A and B are shown apart, each in its own frame.
Chain A
Amino acid sequence: MSIKLKALKKSPWVFHVSAASCNNCDIEILAALTPRFDVERFGILLVGSPRHADALLVTGVINRKSLPRVLEVYNQTPKPCLVIAVGTCACDCHMFKDSYNVVGPYDKYFPVDVYIPGCPPRPEAIIAGVVKALSKL
């Protein structure tokens, strides 16, 4: 493994994009970042700005209001970056798929690297998803 790839894999800083989610997935993401799971062992840090991020954790059903905001955040993130869809809503819109203001899952608009299903997914599932995304590189 080259040192460049190792640097990209061993220090993913995540930015948490909450786009109209019901907050369950957000709570689980925060739970995954607590000392109990200690993701800093793998170099994962939660950062405050999309400019610093290497991975975007997107949650929630994407709708007409949140679509431009999420696209803005995606375009502001320096590439290369990963997109991780957390929760069934983010993966396939779940039970809201026929709603009038839902404009479809995230992968219609930008490439999504990992899908983590669950309503909400457990912190272990989120960590496993991130690990899978990194081992794919």
Chain B
Amino acid sequence: MNILTILFHFFIFPGFLFLVIFGMFLTFLDRKISARIQWRVGPPWYQPYLDFLKLLLKEVIVPINSSKFLFLFAPVLSFLSAVISGTMIYYFLLYPQRSFLGDIIVILYFLTLVPVGFILGASSSRNPLSGCGAQREMMLLIGYELPFIFALLISIVKAGGKIKLGEIIMAQNNLSFLYSWSGLISFLTLLFVFQAKLGYVPFDIAEAEQEIMAGTILEYSGVSLALFKLAKAILLLSLPALLIALLWPAKSIFSFIIKFFFIFLLIVLMKNTNPRLRIDQALKFFWFILGPFSILGVILVLSGL
């Protein structure tokens, strides 16, 4: 594999350009479906692209006394880690043979760096409401990481203890992991965890507009805000793909798209039919309901179900 194909993979097809364009298109679909659920017409298809372009044209304001480097670096960190994790997920879906040992841990780390970027930016902006948002994001991160790791463990154990995404995909050639009790538990757990990772409604505590204005992204404007929005859009594109890779691999591109949109619809419907939880309710949900639930899944998978 020469350097050009590596660059192509990183910048164009499963990488940067693909993720940005399709991620923004998914945010349009999300807004359109939400609008139809509320019996509205909704925005035109080019709306997210225009929003992005407009944010590029706006002035970037750095608050006085904030840590300037960290304030401007945090959106870049979030965006780049979202791009890297998204690229890895799509690349291993395309070429399962080329995955390396421990890549699933790398993906886990990069997915965790996205909210870390949000936390860093919010805490460096010296705004009390942003600080509150950062604190909530941190609590949420602590809450959902544990069930997330247990849910990943189910797939890893089922694939025979291999921490390679490609091996997990190839182990499901005959039967998907989803069609078993532990696979179902892992699927449900991951669905809730992804909702929290995306910051969507039952768990949008960190960005609660009605309580703390915009929370973590309150002080951001212009390009930095656009990068944060893009990071969220890329997560929206890559997280359902990760779920498909872990539990429900598709044989053809067509069935991949159907499975992808099924999971995407579940996420959007959950977003539109739920109220926001309080931070203590969210933590209780993740630690005392989803945590034991996913541990039950691990026990089941260890006993061979």
A69 within 8 A of B: no
Kindly list chain A residues whose C-beta atoms are within 8 Å of the C-beta of B219: 49, 51
Kindly list chain B residues whose C-beta atoms are within 8 Å of the C-beta of A52: 214, 217, 220-221, 225
Kindly list chain A residues whose C-beta atoms are within 8 Å of the C-beta of B42: 38, 40-41
CB contact between B50 and one of A10, A35, A41, A51 (< 8 Å): that residue = A10
- What residue in chain B is nearest A53 (Cβ atoms)? B221
B292 within 8 A of A: no
A41 to B35 CA separation, bound complex (whole angstroms): 9
A54 touches B58 (CB 8 A): yes
Kindly list chain A residues whose C-beta atoms are within 8 Å of the C-beta of B38: 35
Tell me the residues in window 53-100 of chain B with beta carbons closer than 8 Å to chain A beta carbons.
53-54, 57-61
B39 within 8 A of A: yes
Which of A76-84, A94-102, A104-112, A127-135 faces chain B? A76-84
A1 within 8 A of B: no
Q: What's the least CB distance linking A57 to chain B, in Å? A: 16
B218 within 8 A of A: yes
Q: What's the least CB distance linking B176 to chain A, in Å? A: 38
Contact with A along B121-159 (1 / 0, CB 8 A): 000000000000000000000000000000000000000
A7 touches B57 (CB 8 A): yes
A41 to B44 CA separation, bound complex (whole angstroms): 7
Kindly list chain A residues whose C-beta atoms are within 8 Å of the C-beta of B51: 7, 11, 43
A8 within 8 A of B: yes
Q: What's the least CB distance linking B88 to chain A, in Å? A: 31
A65 within 8 A of B: no
Kindly list chain A residues whose C-beta atoms are within 8 Å of the C-beta of B210: 48
A35 to B38 CA separation, bound complex (whole angstroms): 7
A47 within 8 A of B: yes
- What residue in chain A is nearest B210 (Cβ atoms)? A48
A43 touches B53 (CB 8 A): no
Q: What's the least CB distance linking A73 to chain B, in Å? A: 12
Kindly list chain A residues whose C-beta atoms are within 8 Å of the C-beta of B57: 4, 7-8
Kindly list chain A residues whose C-beta atoms are within 8 Å of the C-beta of B220: 51-52
A42 to B39 CA separation, bound complex (whole angstroms): 16
A residues in contact (CB < 8 Å) with B:
3-4, 6-8, 10-11, 35, 38, 40-41, 43, 47-49, 51-52, 54, 76, 78-80
Which of B42, B60, B61 has the most chain A CB within a 10 Å cutoff?
A: B61
B40 touches A38 (CB 8 A): yes
A51 to B54 CA separation, bound complex (whole angstroms): 13
B54 touches A38 (CB 8 A): no
Kindly list chain B residues whose C-beta atoms are within 8 Å of the C-beta of A51: 61, 218-221, 225
Kindly list chain B residues whose C-beta atoms are within 8 Å of the C-beta of A47: 209, 214
* Contacts A35-B40, A48-B218 supplied; 11 other A-B pairs, CB < 8 Å: A4-B53, A8-B54, A10-B50, A11-B51, A43-B44, A49-B217, A51-B61, A51-B221, A52-B221, A54-B58, A79-B59
A7 touches B53 (CB 8 A): yes
CB contact between A80 and one of B40, B50, B53, B58 (< 8 Å): that residue = B58
- Enumerate 26 A-B pairs (CB-CB under 8 Å) in ascending A order: A4-B57, A6-B50, A7-B50, A7-B51, A7-B54, A10-B50, A38-B40, A38-B42, A41-B40, A41-B43, A43-B44, A43-B47, A43-B50, A48-B214, A49-B213, A49-B218, A51-B61, A51-B219, A51-B221, A52-B214, A52-B221, A52-B225, A54-B58, A76-B61, A78-B221, A78-B222
B41 within 8 A of A: yes
- What residue in chain A is nearest B46 (Cβ atoms)? A10
B40 touches A49 (CB 8 A): no
